Each structure stands twice: as structure tokens, then as C-alpha cells.
Amino acid sequence: MKNKLFIAGALVITALVGCSSVPDRNAPKVVHILGVKVDLKDSALVKENLYAHYSQWKNAKYQIGGLSRNGIDCSGFVYMTFKSRLGMVLPRSTEFQAELGKSIDKDQLRPGDLVFFRTGRTDRHVGVYLENGMFLHASTSQGVIISGLDENYWKSAYWKAKRLDS
């Protein structure tokens, strides 16, 4: 009985933590992978890579701390997207990803920009902007999906956007 209570408690804590993974020990930075980097100013190429990545990851389930198609969290999905499709290694945590780049207004978003949300008192969520108010992310309830910034939940939780141009 005690084991069942412990497991139930652990599941509740995991659900409450949301997408805020454990922060990296290093200062936030972007590392470029030699020979692979996509110019983030090339919106067409960025979109092509993001949609291709989405087709591989669509409906992968959400798992806090996960980094595979068997389960992934939001910051892990952003980390994997930039690493495998855009040639950039970002910090692993939402906290440090939010410190990267330059802040931009919502009406200036372009493909590849990071969009951040406050989903609880201390919880944060991150996704990658696609186009036309849509962003790619790992949702806690639906896994890897494309959502709209104008959907009620995301509209009310919107926090900020960052551009990672080098």
C-alpha cells in the first residue's frame, strides 16, 4: 500500500512540474554544429526543416525529461529540433532557452523563433514558431503537435518570444 501511495505521489509531482526540466549547470549558450547550420533568416528553409521534423515526431507522447520518440518534453523537443534540423545545440532546459537570443514582439515572429508560455506559477513551456500564428511543441496532453497562438489556452499563457539569429 505504501508503494502505491509513493508512486501516486510521484506521478502527481511529475504532473505539477510540467515542462520545466532541470536547468543545465552551464550558462545558457548556443553551439553551432559544423557543416549543418541552417540560416535562420531563410524562412522557407527553416519551415521546410521544421515541417519535416514534425512529420517524424508527430504524436510522440509527452514525458518529462524525455529525449526520444518514445517520450519527450517541450524543452527536449526544442533541443532536438534545433540540433537535428537547424544545426544548433541549445541548452536543454526551458529556463536557459528563455535566456537566449533577443526578445521580439509577437507580431514580428518568423519561422524558427522560440515562443514561451507561463503555464503555472513557476512552470514554463516552449515551442518553435512555424508560420501564420502556429507553433510546434510537445504538449503535456497531446504530445508533439502544432498549436495556434490564438487558441484560448496559449493566448492567455503567452509570455515572450526570442530570436536566435547568429
Candidate list 19, 32, 53, 137, residue with the active-site label: 137
Query: What is the residue whose three cell numbers read 507580431?
Result: 107
Contact 114, 164 (CB under 8 A): yes
pLDDT over 60 at 17, yes or no: no
Which three three-digit cell numbers place residue 108? 514580428
- The residue-averaged pLDDT of 50-72 equals 97
State how far the Cα of 136 lies from the Cα of 81, in Å rounded to an integer.
10
Specify the pLDDT at position 30.
Answer: 66
Residues 6+ apart with CB under 8 A from 6: none
One-letter amino acid at 138 equals A
Contact 79, 128 (CB under 8 A): no
The band of 16, judged by pLDDT with boundaries at 50, 70 and 90, is: very low
Specify the pLDDT at position 47.
Answer: 97
Q: Which of these, 107, 127, 128, lies nearest to 119 by C-alpha position?
A: 127
Residue 71's CB is within 10 A of a number of other CB atoms, namely 16
Domains within the chain, CATH numbers bracketed: 2-163 (3.90.1720.10)
Segment 27-58, tens digit of pLDDT: 566 676 656 688 999 999 999 999 999 999 99
pTM listed for this prediction? 0.82
pLDDT over 90 at 8, yes or no: no
Q: Give catalytic status of residue 74 as yes or no.
A: yes
Candidate list 19, 32, 53, 74, residue with the active-site label: 74
Alpha helices in the chain (DSSP H): 2-17, 43-57, 74-85, 94-97, 152-157
Q: Which of these, 148, 99, 108, lies nearest to 127 by C-alpha position?
A: 148
Q: Give catalytic status of residue 19 as yes or no.
A: no
pLDDT over 90 at 158, yes or no: yes
Segment 73-102, tens digit of pLDDT: 999 999 999 999 999 999 999 999 999 999
